[in-house]
Structure 1
Amino acid sequence: MNQSKRIFYFDALRAVAILCVVLLHVTGHLGEIMNYNVSTIYSPSGAFEIFANNFFRIGIALFLMLSGALLLGREWEVKNFLSKRIIRISKPFIFWSVIFTLMLVISSYFISSINFVTQFGFFDIFKVFIDTLLCKAPGSAVYWFFWMMLGMYILMPILNKWINGTDFSKIEYFLIIWAVYIFAVYSLMLPVPEIISFFISPIGFVVLGYYLRHTERRIFNNPAVAGILIILPAAIMFAYSYSVVNSDILFVFHRYSILVMIEAVGVFCLFKSAKSINNLPGSFTNAISSIAVCSYGMYLIHSQIIMVVRKVLHLSFNFTLDYIILFIAGFIVSWIIIYILAKIPFLNDFIGVK
């Protein structure tokens, strides 16, 4: 994409989205390393674990909202749209799945302390590759994101047809019904078949992104209101998580819960309406845009890098140092890898840059 045609606050939101995803996964790894219990959960690091495990859940919501903001409400031919979008996310997904299958096999074969793979026949290795695609191999659980986005792209022509033929009042009606649905499913915990929830929940975020980009309602174009929409749900999630420590030590809200949705709305609206964010110095905007361009590739590789670093270094120094090490591994190193590989033209389609 031509840099001059990029909308900066979209780039900034994409950079924040991948940052939140990495920080959430780093927090998860540290939670396992620290092995929290009822006594340690009240420590400063325990408090941060509870905060981060909820606050950083907006990453996936922001990615979905950006897809809706960028792709809905436009005129495009369905066949061209599907072929372009599906190929764009599939090539990096398959490429990195092959790379990390080889990494799991080779590291397990040559490093005795690493046992990701225990059998090294052809069919054993092929099974590791299939397990990676299906999110079952070590470090590949995050690949569910590909399958979810694949479903969203397949459904998007239907959404786009509806968006182009309706008015904002009907979109608002849809979003109200959807908000009630996610409140019922993820707050009241009403039973819904998982396959239904897998599609309905993210669809609402896609439509929400389109709506927030184009709405002229002042409540969604006010930085002060946006700040409240960020701080209030974050505080509620933090307080509630602490209130249930005795029954569920590290309670976390679902990525599609109503409070996470409100927080994501606040972040989206803040970046859209705050002039200071949209008038940063050139060095900052260049770095943010670079992260945005590399974000999909970073998503596909960060979890495995964190996993390997944790396995090799046997991290157990202290919470702060371990967190910094895993953040550098998951965010900085993955950004550098994708950034460098993007300099090789024929690799652009395979590494996840856009």
Structure 2
Amino acid sequence: MSTSITTAPLNNQQHIVWLDVVRFIAMFTVVCCHCTDPFNFYPEPLTDNIADIKLWGAIYGALLRPCVPLFVMITGALLLPVRGDASVFYKKRIFRVLWPFLIWSVVYNLFPWITGLFGLNPTIIQDFFPYAGEEVTRQSLAVSVDYIAQIPFNFSIVDVHMWYIYLLIGLYLYLPIFSAWVEKASEKAKLWFLAVWGVTLLLPYYNEFVAQYLWGTCSWNAFGMLYYFAGFNGYLLLGHYLRNLDWSIGKTLAIGIPMFAVGYAVTFAGFRYITALPEYTDEMLELFFTYCSLNVVMMTIPVFMLAKKANPRSETVRKALANLTVCGFGIYMIHYFFTGPSVVLMRNLNLPLGLQIPAASVVAFGVSWLIVWAVYRAFGKKAKYVMG
């Protein structure tokens, strides 16, 4: 999630409201996406309505896939091409996200142990973190310390949302290098790159359903012919390119609605197909939810283009969106503490299943935003070291 609030050209310090709207959509949908985890990964023992729970988890889980791609596209739209010296860029961007990432990663990993100190039942951990396995239920300091020691290498089972920060830092490292080409490339060259990237979006399905290796990949080589066009760098360029592409509202709807519908149909049907299999791996479970897949791109482009048409006239709304730009990274850091409990709350309130995920999302998002806003209100600019 880009923490920048300015727009390109960055040195103009202009503020584009529709990018704030995209950020709001991305931020709320990522919270909503994590509220689907207690549905798609319902803990034992199962209930009589588990089929309905899984169905609604799939309905919303598929619908919300554009959340992370939108964040990357915002970064590309704001920061490409990179201005100024690369070392200044790295210092400003990477360290802004690094310290909050480290602080909150430690807090999340200590949480199971802290629940033990308070004498809480170990089952409460699964209310917070649906992915949590048996190891964290030991509420052991040794387990928490082991997870913390692994932070330089990867996220743990209790802070799974931190996977994005590793990606974000990697994108920041890559941006000045990629920017040198973007700045000089013609529109035709950019489209050519995006077209090749589009081919790579089909590779997850080729690898799963056809063959493991393609275009030079083999047991001793993971870097195939189109490897350097693959991944989230395509979303960076897509955000940069679409920012300057102007469609009428009619064209946006005429192209966007069918595109989104097809993308959603593939995502939902594919996920349901996998989960209906007698056995499936974690990789198979995530196959149709993969962010770098053609079906997810088809859902993401219409959302981005439609958000470009947003122009809220209310000054209150504009100020709130601008505040979200400041608080957004902090919300991402802390929201995972509230998604699981918010779903539990909705279940206890006996809300209809179809409303539980959006209602829980509103609570988790609102509480997270309020906390981050209060921290900034209390500590001013110093809050950035904890909240980003």
| Distance in 2 between residues matched to 1:246 and 1:2, nearest whole Å | 44
Instruction: Name which of 272, 283, 292 aligns with 1:256.
Output: 292
The residue number in structure 2 matching 1:80 is 88
State the Cα deviation string for residues 258-293 of structure 1 (Å, max 9, x = none): 011111111111111x2xx21342233333333333
Instruction: Name which of 330, 339, 347 aligns with 2:373.
Output: 339
Deviation of 1:216 after TM superposition, in Å, equals 5.0
Deviation of 1:322 after TM superposition, in Å, equals 5.0
Q: Tell me whether 1:13 sits opposite 2:22 in the alignment.
A: yes
CA spacing shift, 1:351–1:10, aligned 2, 3 Å: farther
Q: Which moved more, 1:56-65 or 1:103-112?
A: 103-112
| Distance in 1 between residues matched to 2:364 and 2:158, nearest whole Å | 12
The residue number in structure 1 matching 2:131 is none
CA spacing shift, 1:242–1:103, aligned 2, 3 Å: closer
Deviation of 1:157 after TM superposition, in Å, equals 1.0
| Distance in 2 between residues matched to 1:181 and 1:278, nearest whole Å | 35
The residue number in structure 1 matching 2:235 is 205
| Distance in 2 between residues matched to 1:264 and 1:227, nearest whole Å | 11
The residue number in structure 2 matching 1:266 is 302
The answer as to whether partners of 1:237 and 1:259 remain within 8 angstroms in 2 is: yes
The residue number in structure 2 matching 1:25 is 34
Q: CA RMSD in A?
A: 3.6
Structure 2: gaps (5+ residues): 7-12, 126-135
Deviation of 1:314 after TM superposition, in Å, equals 11
| Distance in 1 between residues matched to 2:362 and 2:151, nearest whole Å | 24
Q: Which moved more, 1:48-57 or 1:201-210?
A: 48-57
State the Cα deviation string for residues 159-186 of structure 1 (Å, max 9, x = none): 1000112111011000000000111234
Deviation of 1:243 after TM superposition, in Å, equals 5.6
Instruction: Name which of 198, 216, 230 aligns with 1:179.
Output: 198
| Distance in 2 between residues matched to 1:270 and 1:154, nearest whole Å | 30
Matched pairs, number: 346
The answer as to whether partners of 1:98 and 1:129 remain within 8 angstroms in 2 is: yes
Deviation of 1:242 after TM superposition, in Å, equals 4.7
Deviation of 1:151 after TM superposition, in Å, equals 0.9
State the Cα deviation string for residues 276-313 of structure 1 (Å, max 9, x = none): x21342233333333333222111211133346678x7
The answer as to whether partners of 1:222 and 1:270 remain within 8 angstroms in 2 is: yes
1:205-244 matches, cutoff 5 A: 205-215=235-245, 222-242=252-272
- Secondary structure (helix, strand or coil) at the match of 1:222 reads helix
- Secondary structure (helix, strand or coil) at the match of 1:279 reads coil
Percent of paired sites with the same residue: 23
TM-score, length of structure 1 as denominator length = 0.82
The residue number in structure 1 matching 2:212 is 191
The answer as to whether partners of 1:182 and 1:256 remain within 8 angstroms in 2 is: yes
Letter in 2 for 1:300: M
The answer as to whether partners of 1:139 and 1:303 remain within 8 angstroms in 2 is: no
Deviation of 1:41 after TM superposition, in Å, equals 7.2
Letter in 2 for 1:229: M
Structure whose residues are more often helix by fraction:
1
CA spacing shift, 1:280–1:239, aligned 2, 3 Å: farther
Deviation of 1:141 after TM superposition, in Å, equals 1.0
- Secondary structure (helix, strand or coil) at the match of 1:247 reads coil
TM-score, length of structure 2 as denominator length = 0.76
